[in-house]
Amino acid sequence: MSFFTELAHQYIDGEWRPGSGSWDIIDFNPYDGEKLASIPVATAAEVDQAYRAAERAQQPWADTNPYARRLVFERALRIIEDREQEITETIIAELGGTHLKAAFELHLAKEFLREAVQLSLRPEGRILPSPVDGKENRVYRLPVGVVGVISPFNFPFLLSIKSVAPALALGNAVVLKPHQNTPICGGSLVAKVFEDAGLPAGLLNVVITDIAEIGDALLEHPVPKAISFTGSDKVGRHVATVCAASFKRAILELGGNSALIVLEDADIDYAVDAAVFSRYVHQGQVCMAANRVLVDRAVEKEFTEKFVAKVRTLKVGDPADPATHIGPLINSTQAEAVTALVDQTVEAGATALLHGGSEGNLVQPSVLTGLAADSPVLQQEIFGPVALIVPFDGEDEAVRIANDTPYGLSGAVHTGDIERGVRIAQRINTGMIHINDGTVHDEPIVPFGGEKHSGSGRLNGESMIEAFTTQKWISVQYGRSRFPF
């Protein structure tokens, strides 16, 4: 079975059908340029149909016993386990993910489905006291209703499931729009898993489209009460603005410019391993990637030599080869942008310890140092295999440099003194940070999210309940109230 043949459709109200737009989204393999699928684009009319189907299906689903709802997620988990090889091949083909990356994505997708099973039973009501005699205050936790989910291209299967599964588990219905570069992994494959798991029609709808066709129809539609968006801060700002205008809740998981800090007492060999993985996993196309590697001058020479030596061992090439570490970037636009950024930074005075060239969408790793403090590259998210090594003198300078960015998503501190690392971590303005580890982590029950331009709101664990439910106060007056007139 080829998912690219079977699933190249819209999925609306339980039906697989073509979009009615006048043009097609073409799904390409970013490594060899093979055309994988051609999907007629969904129009604003189909976005409306998807939201209306979700609206009709949502209340009966919310009224379903949560013990019955959770069975869907148990079955979805088994389906992914049974089809793991096919899904792995699809991830490799559609987004150029290596075997290692596909295994990482599928592992986390299964973990989030296991959490969704439990999440179905998690919401709790409360009874609160009242200053009024004979009054009982009941606080109910209810689904928000319909949720719009917009997922990115880098971890499309995982990051769609990460919002879709909890929203459904908590009694909502969902309309999902995957990134146009990953319509199968991020969209219709997710729908197929839940369809086969027995999710009732209308609860999950997938529209494969582009803003060139629908504009802001997905955001402005009156049905959804919350939008979960994962992507760039530029688009996230627009999503937030549109949602605010219509009083929708916006959960925004945006970009990062993480710093991995290596103190003078760190285990250098271990820090090198953590930094290389944190920078180059999935070609650097990870919001939590360690864009900046900050190294104390006392160990800069040793660290840099070992870091560059390890990066030289990374194999760049066909992601279908299990030995490949770095596959292609998602498209030619991204590959050209990353290559140009490296060239411009070197021309501006940076030293290239490795200056990676490109062939098609394959971009060789680069390692840059000697950057001016005001270098623009230090302020931006680089979605590609480029590491920036920045020396510092002492903890205070390390913290200042780490915080000198509009982003605040993840980070790491390497030190021989755990509590010293924690103290430094507390001074860095990020939503997440890790002591003696990499910067790229996600777990189902910890709050995931960023500060500053890296987003607003949190996902995972209890944060999912906050994101996808609302509270309702119902008071009960036993006896008679007294009114002043």
Largest CA distance in the chain: 83
Total residue count of the chain as it appears in this document: 485
- Strand arrangement, sheet containing 469-477: 126-128, 135-143, 469-477
CA separation, residue 96 to residues 102, 133, 339, 366, 395 (Å): 9, 65, 18, 19, 39
Nearest CA among 485, 478, 468, 473 for reference residue 227: 468
Instruction: Give, for 474, the enclosing helix (H) or strand (E).
Output: strand 469-477
Catalytic residue among 94, 115, 213, 287: 287
What is the Cα–Cα distance from 423 to 202, expressed in whole angstroms? 49
Q: DSSP labels for 263-310?
A: -TTS-HHHHHHHHHHHHHGGGG--TT---EEEEEHHHHHHHHHHHHHH
Contact call for residues 411 and 434 (beta carbons, < 8 A): yes
In the set 195, 253, 300, 395, the catalytic residue is 253
Q: From 229, 44, 239, 224, select the one nearest 152 (Cα to Cα).
A: 229
Beta-strand ranges (E) seen in 98-134 are 126-128
Residue corresponding to tokens 């990870």: 286
Q: Is 253 a catalytic residue?
A: yes
**What tokens does 167 get?**
């929203």
One DSSP character per residue, 137-179 reads EEEEEEE-SEEEEE--SSSHHHHHHHHHHHHHHTT-EEEEE--
Are the C-beta atoms of 399 and 351 separated by less than 8 Å? Answer: no
Q: Does 185 participate in catalysis according to the annotation? A: no
Alpha-carbon distance values, 99 to 93, 95, 217, 358, 468 (Å): 11, 12, 37, 21, 33
Q: Do residues 224 and 250 touch, judged by C-beta distance below 8 A?
A: no
**CA pair distance 235, 250, nearest whole angstrom:** 12
Helices 156-169 and 99-119 meet at what angle, rounded to 10?
Answer: 0
Give per-residue burial for 351-380: e unless 16+ CB within 10 Å, then b.
ebbbebebeebbbbbbbbbebeeebebbee
User: Which residues are catalytically annotated?
Assistant: 253, 287
